[in-house]
Structure 1
Amino acid sequence: MGLEYKTNECCDVKEVEEVFNKSGIRRPVGDTERIQRMIDNADEIITVRDGERLIGILRAITDYSYCCYISDIAVDKDYQGLGIGKELIRVLRERLGEEEVQYILTSAPKAVGFYEKIGFERADKAFVIKRKKN
């Protein structure tokens, strides 16, 4: 298994939808135009491929100086548990730095332990206005 991580590589919307499906992450798969906008408007995208096959993606929105919101971390279930999610975050942190930028995300209930294990702290003062359309 020769995994290759790339930063801001062009991704095909269909392969991103496939990774979302295979990872178990809840995203509007099937709404191709919306997924394409999600890709187009991300500030940072880190991908990981096994050969030609996209098996993981991290998508983030950032100002590059104070905060970075990690919108998506999705890894194909066949590859989960191999440290790929952790490596996607490491690559992002290496790009943006650790002195000034704070990393923020919301977690699915099943992933909370993963984020705590790799150094994220729970935030008890977060607020959200939920979207009307999933």
Structure 2
Amino acid sequence: MGIELTEEKRFSAKEAQDLFLSVGWISGQYTQRLHRALLNSSTVVTAWDGPRLAGLLRVLDDGGMLAYIHYVLVRPEYQGRGIASAMLERVKAKYADYPYLEVMPEESRNATFYEKHGFRRMGDAAALQIVHLSGREE
């Protein structure tokens, strides 16, 4: 069976949590918040190997000018199979009429992946963040 991509938000909170934790992302520790955030996102592309969630890409957009790719995750055992590239190309096609499609890779080593897909570094741009980690699950 091949990998199926969909924009249907049919994943459970547990499936999302398991995927995020499989790649070591702290967001997976906030099960319900994470699920709510994904369900309220503009676009979520998921990759399925039968019933198993193998990958996920999340986009936030403003409805016409800017779309921001926030997450691109693929379970370690599925990496290297072109899943992230397929999800990214799907999003590029969906947002082709937007003037700006941006991504800020959380790790600079991932920048090369995005550059292979046509993204360019934004001069002196730097990601800035305020983190409030209360440790509470809501």
| Runs of at least 5 residues in structure 2 that lack an aligned partner in the other structure | none
What TM-score does the superposition give when structure 1 sets the normalisation length? 0.87
Do 2:59 and 2:70's aligned partners in 1 also have CA atoms closer than 8 Å? Answer: yes
Q: Give the distance between the partners of 1:80 and 1:60, measured in 2 at CA.
A: 20
| Runs of at least 5 residues in structure 1 that lack an aligned partner in the other structure | none
Superposed counterparts of 1:90-109, under 5 Å: 90-96=89-95, 98-107=96-105, 108-109=107-108
Superposed counterparts of 1:117-128, under 5 Å: 117-123=116-122, 124-128=124-128
CA offsets 1:58-102 (integer angstroms, 9 cap, x no match): 111112311101111100111111111111011112222x23341
**Aligned-residue offset at 1:25:** 5.0
Superposed counterparts of 1:19-98, under 5 Å: 19-22=19-22, 24-96=23-95, 98=96
Matched residue type, 1:94: A
Q: How many aligned residue pairs are there?
A: 132
Matched residue type, 2:16: V
What TM-score does the superposition give when structure 2 sets the normalisation length? 0.84
Tell me what 1:110 maps to: 109
Do 1:29 and 1:35's aligned partners in 2 also have CA atoms closer than 8 Å? Answer: yes
Q: Give the distance between the partners of 2:37 and 2:130, measured in 1 at CA.
A: 17
Q: Give the distance between the partners of 1:132 and 1:36, measured in 2 at CA.
A: 18
Q: Point out 4+ residue stretches in structure 1 off by more than 4 angstroms.
A: none
Over 3 Å counting, the alpha-carbon distance change for 1:100 and 1:35 in structure 2 is closer
Tell me what 1:4 maps to: 4
